[in-house]
Amino acid sequence: MAEHRHFREAAAATGTSQPALSGAVAALEESLGAQLVERTTRKVIVTPLGERVHEHARRVLASLQALTEEVEAARRPFTGPLHLGVIPTVAPYLLPTVLRLVRDRFPALELHVHEERTPSLLEGLAAGRLDVLLLALPAGGASPTRDIPLFDEDFVLVTPPGHPLAGRIDVPRDVLLDLDVLLLEEGHCLRDQALDICREVGADPAGSTTRAAGLSTLVQLVAGGLGVTLLPATALDVEAGRTDRLAAVRFAAPAPGRRIGLATRPGSARSAEYERFAAALREVLAELPVRIVDGEGEGQ
């Protein structure tokens, strides 16, 4: 209720009926002897006391989940459900490898994949909805995380095939000053990373009115001649392979890039399990165009 502010939406999110949820909230209010929500015809307003009860409830549920995880991890590692959150600029390119690893090495693991943007993933991790995240590091967010690095990858400049830079492998970063760099819409960490790279050399593409919700749309805009864009190396073969109207441009060393890894809750009962999972991931991800990073953050 506190998250959705609407009985119907909250009921759908919890897999129950609206009357059952309304009755449960009313029963809780009667038990506590206090009003937790104000009901209107259009939405629900959570009272100040209701907000405090909500925070207590989140902590109680997180503690209960931690207890369950600790017992299960001690009994049988790599078994039962694991809720993995993945950012959209990683999911299409790494998930085939990740799913193959789980199928081959951890067949008793019940993997649930959630593709969401970074802020939503971090909220889900803090609330206990997600167990581990696969995303760009550092994870950041309001709640602390334990980051486990996996690999570093370069960014590649993607242009139309007739562009003067098409096919070059040694371009300096300052070429971005003279280019119309297309970006993802706000909320994607890749957008922020691309902006940082551009601003390092004095370019600022944030004023462009052209935006894309995903990398597939972004490269199609480039193929249509609207500009250029930055792609992570792991996405290049998949996205550029969809059309013959794209060319890759490699930056001179050291190329701009990003670090990808896992993020978990500090002190999780499954920490040892996640470390083993990360080690197995590094083995299978080495076949991709990346530089594997050990658990201490050093390149291999």
Please give the residue that has the higher pLDDT: either 147 or 143: 147
The verdict on residue 1 lying in a domain is no
Asked if omega into 96 is within 30° of 0 (cis), the reply is no
The verdict on residue 298 lying in a domain is no
pLDDT at 48 over 70: yes
By DSSP bridging, strand 80-86 and strand 109-115 are parallel
Q: How do residues 243-253 score in pLDDT, each as one tens digit?
A: 788 899 999 99
Q: What is the mean pLDDT of residues 208-215?
A: 78
Looking at the fold, whether 248 and 185 belong to one and the same domain comes out as: yes
pLDDT at 69 over 80: no
Looking at the fold, whether 170 and 230 belong to one and the same domain comes out as: yes
Q: How do residues 25-43 score in pLDDT, each as one tens digit?
A: 999 999 999 999 988 777 7
Nearest to 113 by CA among 84, 89, 133: 84
User: How many Å apart are CA 238 and CA 255, to the nearest integer?
Assistant: 21
Nearest to 44 by CA among 5, 4, 2: 5
Looking at the fold, whether 139 and 92 belong to one and the same domain comes out as: yes
The verdict on residue 264 lying in a domain is yes
Domains contained in the chain, number: 3
Q: How do residues 153-180 score in pLDDT, each as one tens digit?
A: 999 999 998 899 988 999 999 988 888 8
Q: Report yes or no: 163 and 228 within 8 Å, Cβ to Cβ.
A: yes
Looking at the fold, whether 186 and 248 belong to one and the same domain comes out as: yes
Looking at the fold, whether 162 and 208 belong to one and the same domain comes out as: yes
- Looking up residue 48, the CATH number of its domain turns out to be 1.10.10.10
Q: Report yes or no: 88 and 117 within 8 Å, Cβ to Cβ.
A: yes
Looking at the fold, whether 144 and 275 belong to one and the same domain comes out as: yes
**What pTM, to 2 d.p., does this model score?**
0.73
Q: How do residues 218-235 score in pLDDT, each as one tens digit?
A: 889 998 888 889 999 999
Q: Report yes or no: 85 and 135 within 8 Å, Cβ to Cβ.
A: yes
As a whole number, the mean pLDDT across the chain is: 88
User: How many Å apart are CA 211 and CA 198, to the nearest integer?
Assistant: 16
Nearest to 36 by CA among 17, 19, 16, 56: 56
Asked if omega into 254 is within 30° of 0 (cis), the reply is yes
* 212 beta partners: 184
Q: Report yes or no: 55 and 251 within 8 Å, Cβ to Cβ.
A: no
For 198, the domain range is 154-257
